[in-house]
Structure 1
Amino acid sequence: MSRRFTIAREAEEEILDWGRLRWLSHPPSTNAEQLTVIDVILAPGKGHDFHKHPDQEEVIYIVAGTVEQWVDREKRILGPGDSAHIPADMVHASFNVGDGEAKVTAILGPCVGDNGYELIDVADEEPWTSLRR
């Protein structure tokens, strides 16, 4: 199926242990080739732990809430309107440090693989496992 418009209430939602996401644009939904766009909700006190996208760069845009954003070993607290650029293959993580849900839009490019998204989890590797202690 290829769509040109994504209606929020109709978008496929995935529930994860750290929040939920909706695919706004990726190869299965829009036949996108260059951009994967994901609407992400981080639950309070939860986050998308340290990971990387070897062949994709990413922009993370904070829509609502307060996010502890890591890019490599640098940490910033971001709020609505703030963003982070993550070069391809750079480790990063996003944690909700606010009281309510945090809403983030993640934009990755180019699309990689059938789903338009590749991820390597490094949260259990050093130095990443020790950074937030």
Structure 2
Amino acid sequence: MGNRNFFVEPKDVETMTFDWGSFKVTCSPEVNGASGFSAGIVEMLPGGGHDRHNHPGAEEIIYVLAGEGEQMVEDEDGNPIVSTVTAGCTIYVPESRYHYTVNTGKDPMRVFVVYSPAGSERELRKLPDCRIVPAEQSPAR
């Protein structure tokens, strides 16, 4: 990829919108040629979040930028470990492990997510409530 996009602003990429919030993928093979991981910014509306799910074959890091929520990650025996998370918290989700995130606050909850390897972000496009907003129509956040 000759013209790598090393610097990506949220306004430069499409937005996947859902009933619970939105996701902007700012680093991926498609966005800038990243080969080992993908990353982006997720915003969850108050009361919104991700249902229990997993990413087969991928690890995930979730870093809470703003807001507060409830985070669950299953341990190696499948037991749910639940914690309140706030800005500054890093959550590690091991490969293929079930987890969920819910915004329990009254303001939007923003998180930065990283998937390794890349690809889990593509699965979100298949969800029935996913709507794609092109970059030129996307809000900057």
The TM-score range, normalised by the shorter chain, is 0.7 to 0.9
- The one-letter code of the counterpart of 2:20 is W
Cα offset, 1:29, TM superposition = 0.7
Q: CA offsets per residue over residues 7-52 of structure 1, 9 Å max, x none?
A: 2222211111110010110111111111110200001001111110
Query: Matched residues in 2 for 1:98 and 1:29: separation?
Result: 31
1:42·1:102 contact (CA, 8 Å) conserved in 2?
yes
- The one-letter code of the counterpart of 2:70 is E
Compute the TM-score of the two structures, normalised by the length of structure 1: 0.81
Q: Which of 57, 60, 77 is 2:59 aligned to?
A: 57
1:27·1:116 contact (CA, 8 Å) conserved in 2?
no
Normalized per residue, the structure richer in helix is 2
Highest RCO, 1 vs 2 (Cα 8 Å, sep ≥ 6): 2
Q: CA offsets per residue over residues 45-102 of structure 1, 9 Å max, x none?
A: 0111111011110111000000100001010000000011000010000000000100
1:37 alignment partner in structure 2: 39
Secondary structure of the structure 1 residue equivalent to 2:82? strand
2:21 alignment partner in structure 1: 19
Backbone CA RMSD of aligned residues: 1.7
Q: Which runs of 4+ in 1 moved over 6 A?
A: none
Compute the TM-score of the two structures, normalised by the length of structure 2: 0.77
Query: Matched residues in 1 for 2:17 and 2:99: separation?
Result: 21
Q: Percent identity?
A: 29
How many positions carry a matched residue from both structures?
117
Structure 1: tracts of 5 or more residues without a match: 120-133
1:108 alignment partner in structure 2: 115
- The one-letter code of the counterpart of 2:95 is A
Structure 2: tracts of 5 or more residues without a match: 75-79, 125-141
1:67·1:95 contact (CA, 8 Å) conserved in 2?
yes
Secondary structure of the structure 2 residue equivalent to 1:84? strand
